């Protein structure tokens, strides 16, 4: 994300407060989907050269039925100067996830659980990620899989991500969403990929080391990938620490091919 977009996002995040209605996250997800599905609307609201007041009036006209808090977050978003329209669309979705986290303390863990389910089932990944599949059918599949097993809040986020894929891989988007939610609650989310499961002691030592580095609590989710052969790969936000044997072998292969 460009520096202008990061600044616009930070300014809009200030509008996410404890005074938001419980419905604000859901409303912002609806707005995010509507904006993403309409290139003309996205361009109009994300245009850095358009008058901020005019864009705020569009928000009131199109989303006037939303709660005051949701409208205030949207207004703050459209008044920012985003680097480009795509990053504006990403930003509105992120704001929605951050707002939704206030209504569900377990949201990050639930999204990670769904990500694990999707990534472990290739057929499910294809069914939910297919561009050709009927959106209504994908929503029905999500309902069959998740209703009664996760909160309505988490199921709503998954439905949003399934029906508004924007070229993204579902399991990766779920993990990214979980990371955003964790950040909003004051913690980091680390995805640790290993060839074999860590022991409880190893996981505890790793958690302590990551928390010292991050300066705040770290939630660890573990992914087993036998192709790593050995070692460990850690991702926190956009930072990756790859100490796997597979990475070392790939580096060696590239050096030999040079």
Return the bridge partners of 150, or none. 147
- Residue 102's Cβ-count burial label (10 Å; 0-12, 13-18, 19+) is buried
Q: What is the pLDDT of residues 115-130, one digit of tens each?
A: 989 988 889 888 988 8
- Cβ atoms 188, 218 nearer than 8 A: yes
Same domain assignment for residues 177 and 195: no
Residue at a domain's end among 71, 101, 131: 101
Residue 258, pLDDT > 70, answer no
Count: domains in the chain: 3
Same domain assignment for residues 95 and 145: no
Residue at a domain's end among 101, 127, 156: 101
Q: What is the pLDDT of residues 148-204, one digit of tens each?
A: 899 999 999 999 999 999 989 999 899 899 999 999 988 888 888 888 888 889 888
Q: What is the pLDDT of residues 82-108, one digit of tens each?
A: 999 999 999 999 999 999 998 888 899
pTM: predicted TM-score of the whole model, two decimal places: 0.81
Residue at a domain's end among 70, 85, 101: 101
Q: What is residue 53's predicted lDDT score, i.e. its pLDDT?
A: 92
- Cβ atoms 244, 231 nearer than 8 A: yes
Q: Which domain holds residue 220?
A: 187-257
Distance CA 130, CA 14 (A): 36
- Cβ atoms 25, 103 nearer than 8 A: yes
Higher pLDDT, 231 or 146: 146
Same domain assignment for residues 81 and 120: no
Helices (H), the chain: 3-13, 24-37, 39-46, 52-63, 68-78, 85-101, 107-119, 122-129, 135-146, 152-163, 170-184, 200-214, 245-257
Return the bridge partners of 235, or none. 191, 240
Exposed e or buried b for every residue in 109-119, given b needs 16+ CB within 10 A? bbbbbbbbbbb
């Amino acid at each position: 994300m460009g520096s202008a977009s990061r600044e616009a996002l930070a300014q809009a995040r200030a509008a996410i407060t404890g005074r938001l209605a419980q419905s604000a996250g859901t409303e912002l997800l609806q707005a995010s989907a509507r904006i993403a599905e309409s290139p003309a609307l996205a361009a109009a609201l994300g245009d850095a050269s358009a008058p901020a007041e005019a864009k705020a009036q569009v928000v009131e006209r199109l989303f006037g039925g939303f709660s005051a808090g949701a409208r205030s977050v949207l207004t703050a978003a459209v008044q920012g100067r985003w680097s480009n329209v795509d990053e504006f669309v990403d930003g509105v979705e992120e704001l929605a996830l951050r707002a939704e986290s206030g209504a569900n303390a377990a949201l990050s863990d639930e999204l990670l659980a769904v990500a694990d389910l999707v990534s472990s089932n290739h057929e499910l990944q294809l069914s939910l990620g297919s561009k050709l599949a009927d959106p209504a059918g994908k929503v029905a599949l999500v309902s069959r899989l998740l209703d009664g097993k996760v909160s309505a809040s988490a199921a709503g986020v998954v439905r949003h991500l399934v029906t508004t894929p924007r070229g993204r891989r579902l399991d990766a988007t779920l993990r990214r969403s979980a990371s955003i939610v964790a950040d909003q609650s004051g913690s980091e989310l680390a995805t640790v990929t290993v060839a074999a499961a860590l022991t409880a002691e190893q996981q505890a030592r790793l958690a302590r080391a990551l928390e010292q580095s991050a300066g705040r609590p770290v939630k660890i989710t573990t992914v087993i990938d036998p192709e790593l052969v050995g070692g460990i790969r850690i991702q926190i936000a956009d930072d990756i620490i790859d100490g796997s044997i597979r990475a070392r072998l790939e580096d060696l292969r590239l050096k030999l091919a040079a």
